[in-house]
Chain A
């Protein structure tokens, strides 16, 4: 049997969900007997592969670049998992929705700047008016809430998926866990 192709993607999040994924520790080795990690911040591949079986998305959709990325990922993924509260609810990144883009940029790049306060106009992706959860942009097959989702929940979900079963993780995690 060929191995399951697994990818992880990092949008607007703190990387804590990826840390929690790594917290599955030695169980990762057992998992990787059934799966290949083909694209991830943790590996070197720069281009998202043609077709991936399972993709974990950490982070909310906050910029135009995030939107492009997530649409591409969705088009090339069989089972898309929203990993963690940012991907599922917007969570902390979405707290700026209450204030709006302008005040947020001003706070970050003018008020808080130590040197040369200025709003960047190049190189950075443009912020969306509102930070949104992943499922508001593309269809999501499984939601795995938690901040971060416990390693046990991530491991359980992935081990079920590599064995061809759709996991029910509702008893293993919750918002804010």
Chain B
């Protein structure tokens, strides 16, 4: 925040309801404060928003395209729609694409019951996938003595990359490749176990919405309990610019 004086109090409407907001807030911030539900996957309190998953798309009057609520700053007189037939359709297609792109086998996943992708499918009423599954082959990096990275279960939300870079300051993890070939790598695509930068802090495990990054030495299915709230807590304590 450069200066407190530059922030103004503005009003906008969300689903027809007038709400007040600071001009430095996003549509998602304000919607949440006022009890509107906007589905999200890549967003996590405490991390800098990235706009990767597109699940939080909303309609804004005057814009001919849908805008991601997590990346869109509020403006005076803005008219936002968070729920419509069109948005529900887009969000469901986005979810289905995520399921087809990798190998999400909930029944044998370490995150079964603790997975945000799985919960989102349930919340949005996605009971089957209308597109053919791609069944790509991604390798699993289990070289680290504490953690495993399994790109088969990754949705490329980049939470692990952001927490590693912005909160831990290590920037061990990043995304390599483009499109559906993109994947999480350690350092310059080396074995995670050989990483000279990883501090073994496990923040990546805590923020991963699925079973893509997990801790070793636990049971195999459905035990991946996580403390995602800790990241927001750490960010708050440090008073980062995105607080």
**A residues engaging B (CB < 8 A)?**
82, 85, 88-92, 94-95, 97-99, 130, 132-133, 135-136, 140, 143-145, 147, 169-170, 174-176
Contacts and interface: CB of A to CB of B under 8 A. Distances in A.
Most chain B CB neighbours (cut-off 10 Å) among A95, A140, A174, A175: A175
Contacts, number: 67
Interface of B: 99, 103-109, 112-113, 115, 118-119, 121-122, 125, 127-130, 132-133, 135-137
16 contacts: A88-B128, A89-B129, A90-B133, A92-B107, A94-B105, A95-B108, A97-B133, A98-B136, A133-B128, A136-B132, A169-B127, A170-B122, A174-B106, A175-B104, A175-B107, A176-B112
B128 A145 contact: yes
Most chain B CB neighbours (cut-off 10 Å) among A92, A98, A99: A98
Given A90-B133, A143-B127, A175 B121 contact: yes
Given A92-B107, A95-B103, A174 B122 contact: yes
B61 to A, nearest CB: 31
A174 B118 contact: yes
A32 B31 CA distance: 49
Contacts of A170: 122, 125, 127
A130 B128 contact: no
A88 to B, nearest CB: 5
Contacts of B104: 175
A176 B127 contact: no
B40 to A, nearest CB: 18
Contact of A98 (B115, B127, B129, B135): B135
A27 B12 CA distance: 53
B118 A94 contact: no
